[in-house]
């Protein structure tokens, strides 16, 4: 009896010592994480869980009714999903290739020995400058250039005799939004490409030159294959940003107009939640979109960590 | 496409051009090099035109925005326009609100970020990876705008809508700068320094304050700069939480000036306001570009 008792006490002591050691060694990192867990729990985790609850309810600040999957069914059948997909595909179809290809060409030119050495960082800074300007400001500047009696149309009219309603007709508005968004993003992608180009081994180019490859061939057969993961990464980053676009169509094309031609996902979310006060429906749409964005992000992470 | 000089120089020397002085000179400087640099310069000029036009047109009178050929030199209403925006509008207050909004957010983000960054970068503890992926990586995958819907509901319930606190507190959670700080600490803080300080009897807090923070300065600067600029330029969240005149930030002020299709936009106010909002940010970027580039590269490639 006494032996059993003693052994149990021994075990208890050992557990107590182990516990104390555990607390002693891990106390500090856990303490450091308290602020993060507080802000994350209150301002991220709780709202996300709340979003799931909202999506199953018809909710307008004052009251709620449980509607099950109705919000999701409406989102899929009312044409909203189709509208958002269509707009995103048209705007993204212009913006993403533009933001992927043009910065690559620019980065290669800037990085090449053909550019004078002292100019490299000058160009890098220059192309990055628009990236620190607010989208709101950018959209406003372009609005004055693109509107029906703006500088661009005056030039087109006087030089070519045509006029395009850049912000008030459907397709031109989508094109404008794609270009204005790209104007800010190009500098960031030039920067990422320039960093990537540093890791392409010089010896490959030397070998190619000995074999008699010209610059275009070097670009085609060395730069592009070597940069493939970074090109894909930029494409995904660009897609991510285009899908989450808000400020440009909000300001440039008058809150997602004309009609709903430039209504992006985020503008739709804002309108449903805060203008139509249809929080449940907005949450349902947002959750569906998050799923799609999550897939894009998954591939982005795979590429980002493979570097 | 790196062009190595030996080959080109050799070609250049071999084919010594006849022809005039200018042509010989160009050849010596490598014609293709001049062409590429020239092409990039022209493109940069086109690229910079909107910003140039913003600054120049802030001194235009009412009709001068729509001249043909376009007016490209400063107008005569510089003083008028800036006096109006600074003395007769709510813009100075809005700009002040922007600075408070972005500044306080940045400080909060840096406090939370340096603490969690150090924990994730230099400690092994049970649940570390789970916590890191759960709080940082997972949140990067979701569009934050979805979170704002229930978040707004939460703020309504707490009575924090249309208050500075309600607008700023939720933004203390901002995964991208946290990630920047963490990655920088992984590179710049060597375990041996921490271990030797421990042996010398420094407390964990002393190590954090006197050794880790000074060493992590570049990462903190990069993260702070990114956080400040992104928040200073943001429109979506302020539009939701700052719905009253006294709290409106500069981007809201500028966006609200577009007449919404029904009223004509007051361009003589838009351009000075846009210039005043943008120039300080550009100066800040030019002075601290090293940190900004560092932050952008970590922050966007990894998330």
Confidence band for A90, pLDDT divided at 50, 70 and 90: very high
Put simply, whether A292 touches B (Cβ < 8 Å) is no
A302 inside 8 A of chain B by CB: no
Q: Which of B34, B52, B145 should one mutate to test binding to chain A, selecting the residue with the greatest count of A CBs within 10 A? A: B145
Statement: residue A266 has pLDDT above 70: yes
Task: Answer whether A83 touches B (CB < 8 Å).
Answer: no
Note whether A148 contacts B: Cβ–Cβ < 8 A.
no
CB atoms A113 and B135 under 8 Å: no
Between chains, do B170 and A273 touch, taking CB under 8 Å as contact? Answer: no
Give buried/exposed letters for A167-191 (b at 16+ CB in 10 A, else e): bbebebbbbbbbbbbbbbbbbbbbb
pLDDT recorded at residue B15: 47
Residues of A in contact with B296 (CB under 8 A): 131, 188, 191
A73 pLDDT higher than 50: yes
Whole-number mean pLDDT of chain A? 87
Check CB contact under 8 Å for B260 and A254: yes
Q: State the nearest Cα–Cα gap between B164 and chain A, in angstroms.
A: 16
* Chain A interface test: which of B104, B143, B227, B252 (most A C-beta within 10 Å): B143
pLDDT 10s digits, A165-201: 888 889 999 999 999 999 999 999 999 999 888 888 8
Are B149 and A282 within 8 A, CB to CB?
yes
Place of tokens 């899908």: A243
Which positions in chain A touch B116 (Cβ < 8 Å)?
A: 32-33, 35-36
Higher-confidence position of A245 and A257: A245
Dihedral over Cα of B179, B112, B101, B141: its sign: positive
pLDDT at A67: 83
Residue-level length of chain A = 307
Tell me how far CA of residue B162 lies from CA of A44, B155, B156, B245, in angstroms. 20, 9, 9, 10
Q: Compute the average pLDDT of residues A64-76.
A: 86
Best probe of the A interface among B301, B302, B303, by most A CBs < 10 A, is: B301
pLDDT of A274 above 70: yes
pLDDT for the residue B21: 63
Residues in chain A with CB shorter than 8 Å from the CB of B149 are 47, 51, 54, 269, 273, 279, 282-283, 286
DSSP assigned state of B174? -
CB contact under 8 A, A48 and B147: yes
What pLDDT is recorded for position B6?
A: 44
Nearest chain B residue to A39, by CA: B173
Interchain CB contact of A160 with B (< 8 Å):
no
Tell me which chain A residues have a C-beta less than 8 angstroms from the C-beta of B48. 126, 129
Classify the complex by whether its ipTM is higher than 0.85, answering yes or no: yes
Alpha-carbon torsion (A73, A74, A78, A79), positive or negative: negative
Q: With beta carbons under 8 A apart, name residues in chain B contacting A290.
A: 141-143, 146
Number of A–B residue contacts, CB under 8 Å: 305
Interface contact A307-B301, CB threshold 8 A: yes
Closest by Cβ to B3, choosing from A112, A134, A137: A112
Contact yes or no for B145 and A246 at CB 8 A:
yes
Closest Cβ opposite residue A266 in set B67, B236, B286: B236
CA R_g for chain A: 27
Name which of A58-72, A195-209, A269-283, B223-237 the model is least confident about.
Answer: A58-72
Q: Which residue of A has its CA nearest to B288?
A: A125
Query: Which residue in chain A is spatially nearest to B297 when comparing CA positions?
Result: A192
Q: State the 10-residue block means of pLDDT for chain B, 303 residues long.
A: 42 49 61 82 90 90 78 85 90 95 96 94 89 87 88 91 93 93 90 89 90 93 94 94 92 84 77 93 92 85 53
Contacts of B142 (CB under 8 A, 6+ apart): A48, A290, A293, A294
CB pair distance less than 8 Å for A48 and B239: no
Question: Tokens for B138?
Answer: 């997972």
Interchain CB distance below 8 Å, A51 and B172: no
Cβ separation B281–A133 shorter than 8 A: yes
Percentage of residues in chain A having pLDDT higher than 70: 97
Dist CA B35 CA A2 (whole Å): 95
pLDDT at A245 over 60: yes
Q: Which residues of A touch B65 (CB under 8 A)?
A: 144, 150-151
Concatenated DSSP letters of chain A: -HHHHHHHHHHHHHHHHHHHHHHHHHHHHHHHHHHHHHHHIIIIIHHHHHHHHHHTEEEETTEEEE-TTHHHHHHHHSSHHHHHHHHHHHHHHHHHHHHHHHHHHHHHHHHSTTS-GGGHHHHHHHHHGGGGS-HHHHHHHHHHHHSTTSHHHHHHHHHHS----TTTSHHHHHHHHHHHHHHHHHHHHHHHHHHHHTTS-HHHHHHHHHTT--HHHHIIIIIHHHHHHHHHHHHHHHHHHHHT--HHHHHHTTTT-STTTT--HHHHHHIIIIIS--HHHHHHHHHHHHHHHHHHHHHHHHHHHH-
Among A36, A183, A307, select the one facing B112 at the smallest CB separation: A36
């Amino acid at each position: 009896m006494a032996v059993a008792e003693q052994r149990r006490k021994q075990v208890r002591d050992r557990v107590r010592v182990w516990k104390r050691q555990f607390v002693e060694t891990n106390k500090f990192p856990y303490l450091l994480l308290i602020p993060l867990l507080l802000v994350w729990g209150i301002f991220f985790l709780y709202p996300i869980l709340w979003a799931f609850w909202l999506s199953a309810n018809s909710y307008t600040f004052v009251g709620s009714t449980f509607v099950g999957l109705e919000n999701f069914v409406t989102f899929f059948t009312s044409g909203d999903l189709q509208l958002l997909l269509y707009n995103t595909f048209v705007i993204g179809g212009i913006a993403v290739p533009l933001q992927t290809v043009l910065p690559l060409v620019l980065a290669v030119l800037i990085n090449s020995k053909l550019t004078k050495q002292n100019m490299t960082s000058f160009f890098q800074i220059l192309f990055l400058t628009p990236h620190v300007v607010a989208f709101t400001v950018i959209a406003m500047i372009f609005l004055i250039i693109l509107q029906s009696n703006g500088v661009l149309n005056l030039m087109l009219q006087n030089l070519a005799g045509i006029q395009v309603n850049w912000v008030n007709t459907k397709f031109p508005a989508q094109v404008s939004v794609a270009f204005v968004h790209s104007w800010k993003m190009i500098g960031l992608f030039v920067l990422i490409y320039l960093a990537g180009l540093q890791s392409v081994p010089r010896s490959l180019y030397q070998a190619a030159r000995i074999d008699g490859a010209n610059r275009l061939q070097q670009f085609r057969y060395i730069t592009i294959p070597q940069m493939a993961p970074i090109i894909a990464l930029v494409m995904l980053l660009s897609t991510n940003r285009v899908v989450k676009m808000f400020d440009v169509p909000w300001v440039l094309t008058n809150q997602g107009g004309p009609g709903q031609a430039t209504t992006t996902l985020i503008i739709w979310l804002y309108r449903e939640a805060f203008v139509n006060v249809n929080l449940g429906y907005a949450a349902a749409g947002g959750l569906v979109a998050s799923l799609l964005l999550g897939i894009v992000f998954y591939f982005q992470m795979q590429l980002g960590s493979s570097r | 496409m790196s062009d190595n000089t030996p080959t080109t120089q050799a070609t250049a020397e071999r084919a010594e051009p006849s022809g005039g002085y200018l042509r010989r000179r160009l050849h010596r400087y490598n014609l293709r090099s001049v062409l590429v640099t020239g092409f990039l310069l022209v493109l940069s000029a086109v690229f910079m035109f909107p910003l140039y036009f913003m600054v120049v047109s802030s001194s235009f009178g009412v009709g001068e925005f729509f001249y043909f050929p376009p007016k490209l030199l400063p107008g005569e209403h510089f003083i008028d326009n800036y006096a109006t925006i600074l003395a007769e509008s709510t813009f100075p207050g809005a700009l002040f609100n922007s600075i408070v909004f972005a500044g306080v957010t940045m400080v909060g983000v840096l406090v939370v970020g340096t603490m969690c960054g150090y924990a994730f970068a230099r400690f092994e503890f049970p649940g570390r990876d789970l916590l890191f992926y759960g709080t940082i990586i997972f949140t990067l995958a979701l569009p934050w705008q979805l979170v704002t819907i229930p978040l707004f509901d939460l703020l309504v319930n707490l009575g924090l809508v249309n208050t500075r606190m309600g607008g700023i507190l939720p933004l203390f959670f901002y995964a991208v700068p946290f990630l920047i700080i963490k990655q920088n600490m992984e590179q710049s803080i060597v375990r041996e320094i921490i271990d030797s300080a421990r042996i010398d009897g420094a407390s964990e807090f002393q190590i954090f304050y006197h050794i880790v923070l000074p060493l992590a300065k570049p990462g903190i600067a990069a993260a702070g700069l990114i956080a400040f600029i992104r928040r200073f330029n943001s429109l979506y969240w302020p539009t939701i939480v700052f719905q009253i005149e006294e709290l409106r930030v500069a981007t809201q002020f500028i966006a609200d000036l577009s007449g919404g299709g029904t009223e004509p936009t007051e361009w003589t106010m838009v351009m000075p306001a846009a210039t005043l909002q943008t120039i300080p940010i550009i100066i800040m970027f030019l002075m601290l570009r090293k940190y900004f580039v560092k932050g952008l590269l970590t922050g966007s490639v990894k998330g």
